[in-house]
Amino acid sequence: MADHLFTAAKLGHLVLHNRSIRSAAFEGMCPGHRVSDDLIQYHRSVAAGGVAMTTVAYAAVSKSGLSFDHQLWLRKEAVPGLRLLTEAIHKEGSFAVIQIGHCGLIAKKSVSGGVCLAPTGGFNLYGPTLSRTATRDEIWEIVCDFGVATRLAKESGFDAVEVHAGHGYFISQFISSYINKRKDEYGGSFENRARFLREVIREVILSAGSALTVVVKMNLRDGFTGGTEVGEASGIARMYSGKMVCSQHEEKLPGKWRKKLRTSI
């Protein structure tokens, strides 16, 4: 097993020199939502330790998806610092991946600037806070934000992006029948509850092109009665792989959001 760990592996278009990856554990080193010297030094040290790839964690794709004032927000203003970060990682011989996501109903109002969005609004026991139901337009805007964040990650020198679709964050909230009580095309059936994830992955893949490897982080079960279980989670992994997402005839984003994608970089 130890010998296997130190053999090369292929992940998308990347060839890792071993099978060790620093996972996306929140660093809390981004005061003002920007890269700090501490974050650069931390990932430089991880890369110098010999991992094949290190993951920069918990980058919000939009202000409405923020939970902490020391959480990274992937926007134009963050790019110069992110370039320094990826350069430091690459100098140590490792690949750099950034985790992108949206907190949904566990966003913090004082940081995100408004009442947090949810698949279905109401009282949030995690907070405790009140949330409101995201409109179709707001869903499409966030799908667009994932695409913009992916293009910014590419501009910042990352080798891969990781879509955060687990652990109770926004995409996971849509998947969960316990949280998602919508009556439209984003709620009800397993297929509908996975629609938001499918649309996000599609936009991320299109925005990544051939330059970035795209991975998705999911949990296999929520751990409470009525939440997502292994069967549905593994079904999503089988049904919505990157190639299948791109080949499906999904409705494209409305024109104004596609325009935002073109003009945001």
Among residues 42, 58, 126, 169, the one annotated as catalytic is 169
pLDDT higher at 261 or 161:
161
Q: Name beta bridge partners: 118.
A: 133
Q: How many domains does the chain have?
A: 1
Q: Which residues of 33-56 are buried (b: 16+ CB within 10 A; e: fewer)?
A: bbbbeebbebbbebbeeebbbbbb
- DSSP-based three-state secondary structure for 3: helix
Task: Return d(Cα 101, Cα 138) in angstroms, integer.
Answer: 15
pLDDT-wise least confident of 47-51, 195-199, 218-222: 218-222
Assess contact for 131 and 119: CB atoms under 8 A.
no
Task: Return d(Cα 13, Cα 212) in angstroms, integer.
Answer: 8
Q: Is 116 exposed, middle or buried (0-12, 13-18, 19+ CB in 10 A)?
A: buried
Q: Whole domain around residue 71: which residue ranges? A: 2-263
186 catalytic residue (yes or no):
no
Residue pointed to by tokens 């679709």: 165
- DSSP-based three-state secondary structure for 98: strand
Assess contact for 167 and 173: CB atoms under 8 A.
no
Reported as half-sphere exposure (CB side, CA atoms, 13 A), residue 236 has a value of: 29
Average pLDDT for residues 61-66, to the nearest whole number?
96
Total number of residues shown for the chain:
265
Task: Return d(Cα 180, Cα 104) in angstroms, integer.
Answer: 12
Q: Is the pLDDT of residue 246 over 90?
A: no
252: DSSP letter = P
236 — pLDDT class (breaks 50, 70, 90): confident
| Chain segment 70-80, per-residue pLDDT in tens | 999 999 999 99
248 — pLDDT class (breaks 50, 70, 90): very low
Task: Return d(Cα 162, Cα 57) in angstroms, integer.
Answer: 9
Q: Which two tokens stand for residue 89?
A: 């990682």
Dihedral (CA of 229, 243, 58, 184) sign: negative
CATH of the domain at 63: 3.20.20.70
Average pLDDT for residues 139-152, to the nearest whole number?
96
Give the residue among 148, 54, 164 at the shortest CA–CA distance from 99. Answer: 164
Percent of the chain's residues with pLDDT above 90 = 68
